[in-house]
Structures are given as C-alpha cells and as structure tokens.
Amino acid sequence: MKKTFKVHALIIGLMIASLSVTAQEEEPAQVATVIPKYVSDKGYWVVEGNIHNKQEQTIHFYNNDDLKVYQQTITGRLKLNRRKTLMHIKRMLDTAVVAWEQRKPLNENLFAATK
C-alpha cells in the first residue's frame, strides 16, 4: 500500500512540474493589428442622434487632445456601415482639424464641401 502511494505521488509530482515548465516556455502570441483606412490619425468623431427628429444627426469632431474642433448637423440618415460614408467623414474630420489648427473659419456646410 505504501509503495503504490509513493509511486502515485511521484507521478503526480512529475506531471505538475512538467506542466509548470512548459507553461513558462511559451511566449505570448503576437497579434497583428490592422488599422482601417477610414480611421484618422488626427482625431475622432462621434455621431449623436436626435430623439425628437430621427432624420437629424449631429457629428462632433474632436482632435487627439479631446478638444471639440467642429460640429455638423446633417438632415437624413447616415449609413455608418458603408465604407464610402466612413471615408467621407474621415475627410471631414481631417479638414476640420487642419482648419482648427490654422485657426481658419470653416464653411458652414462642410459635409457638402468635402463631397
């Protein structure tokens, strides 16, 4: 009885030791991150819907310092799942941030001006 207990304890001890050694040898996997083309490096934007008028949406543009540089109210539905729309909003953001940095007044309808 004592002999089998010692054998089982030895086997369990070796298994635990081998698991800890193999766990330390593995390196974390490198995850490649791909940034989509519609993401700007100059800032970010937020779309705010109007609960009273579903056809009216406001886009707020911020620079990387979290300062609001521009806002545009758009009448009509924005299809934010379309790449073309996202690229258009990126161009609007880039124009707004550059104009804010240069302290230039923006066109009242930036949405129409960047099409």
Sign of the dihedral defined by the CA atoms of residues 40, 65, 105, 108, in that order:
positive
Find, among 100, 104, 105, the residue nearest to 67 by Cα.
100
Question: What is the helix (H) or strand (E) element at residue 53, kind and residue range?
Answer: none
Sign of the dihedral defined by the CA atoms of residues 72, 78, 80, 86, in that order:
negative
pLDDT in tens, 93-111: 999 999 988 886 666 666 5
pLDDT in tens, 45-70: 999 998 999 899 999 999 999 999 99
Contacting residues for 76 by C-beta, under 8 A, at least 6 apart: 55
pLDDT in tens, 69-97: 999 999 988 899 999 999 999 999 999 99
Alpha-carbon distance of 108 to 111, in angstroms, equals 9
Q: For residue 8, give the amino acid letter.
A: H
Find, among 103, 104, 92, the residue nearest to 40 by Cα.
92
